[in-house]
Amino acid sequence: MEEVTLKKLEVLATNIRIDTIEAIRKVGAGHIGGSLSIVELLAVLYGKQLNYDPKNPQWEERDRVVLSKGHAGTAWYSALAEVGFFEKNWLMTLNEGGTRLPSHPDRTKTPGVDATTGFLGQGTSVAAGIATGLKLQKKDSYVYLIVGDGELNEGQCWEAFQYLAHFKLNNCIVIIDENKKQLDGTTKEILNPFNIEEKMRAFGFKTVKTKGDDIPAIDQAITECKAIKDQAVCIILDSVKGQGVPFFEEMAANHSVKFDNEKTLAQTESILADLRERIKECG
């Protein structure tokens, strides 16, 4: 990856991270852990890999994104705002009455959202259906399915994966955010997933594993998956819940964070200042 491209994507990722934190702080509580763990992925998608037109969200030739882990919607909204699907001031209305940015994505409310998600597991089936439709229409568009590792507790995920593998739907790039934590604790404590990489290979997927904060590696993994023509494809992100912000990474209960005490609010202000300074350094 060229240095200028990497810098552009790093700036985009930092802006998405700032927007996500600010939006959740404004509403007072939200799913910050799982939102931050996909920030670099979203930067690569919307900064380089995705085929889309923010001025024409329903463009027929666009790539689709299905955020099956819908609780990470704030990060997705932040990415959409950064690339021009809607005004950034919408982010400050997150989850308020009458908002167009509900806690979980709704395709009838938000430009750029192709699938309503939040009922964990169901996004996998939706993405498989979209991929099938695109194949039948002989379109070259891709579907990017973003799934959480805790979400893999749902049997529906594995039914959809088996379907994708059987029909070799290589136009659906499955991306598993393996941040190793879910609502009530670590994935190993709640329901041990064992080796997800080996599982996906056993299901018939060409599988690539990469660090969740490594922008060039994520970009390369997506490019590699696009080159596969006769097999289902999967990328596993070895990520950290609260990624990119040590304060949130180290917080035990970081699935959903409340901004209701002076310590958290002060730390958050310091975090935002540091992130904004990083933007200036890149500029």
Find the mean pLDDT for residues 177-203: 97
Structural domain total, the chain: 1
pLDDT of residue 283: 65
pLDDT in tens, 123-138: 999 999 999 999 999 9
pLDDT band at residue 57 under the 50/70/90 scheme: very high
CATH for 238? 3.40.50.970
pLDDT band at residue 199 under the 50/70/90 scheme: very high
Q: Which residue has the tokens 């917080």?
A: 251
Q: Which residue has the tokens 């938000």?
A: 110
pLDDT band at residue 159 under the 50/70/90 scheme: very high
pLDDT of residue 134: 98
Find the mean pLDDT for residues 58-64: 97
Residue 109, pLDDT above cutoff 80:
yes
Find out whether 227 and 5 touch, Cβ atoms under 8 Å: no
pLDDT band at residue 211 under the 50/70/90 scheme: very high
Residue 46, pLDDT above cutoff 90:
yes
Find the mean pLDDT for residues 232-242: 98
Domain that holds residue 155: 3-282
Beta-carbon count within 10 A of 11 CB: 18
pLDDT of residue 281: 83
pLDDT in tens, 259-271: 999 999 999 999 9
Residue 49, pLDDT above cutoff 80:
yes
Find the mean pLDDT for residues 146-152: 98
Residue 280, pLDDT above cutoff 90:
no
Residue 207, pLDDT above cutoff 90:
yes
Q: What percent of the chain has pLDDT over 70?
A: 100
Residue 110, pLDDT above cutoff 90:
yes
Beta-carbon count within 10 A of 222 CB: 23
Q: Which residue has the tokens 């964070």?
A: 257
pLDDT of residue 264: 93
Find out whether 88 and 81 touch, Cβ atoms under 8 Å: yes
Q: What is the mean pLDDT of the chain?
A: 96
Residue 184, pLDDT above cutoff 70:
yes
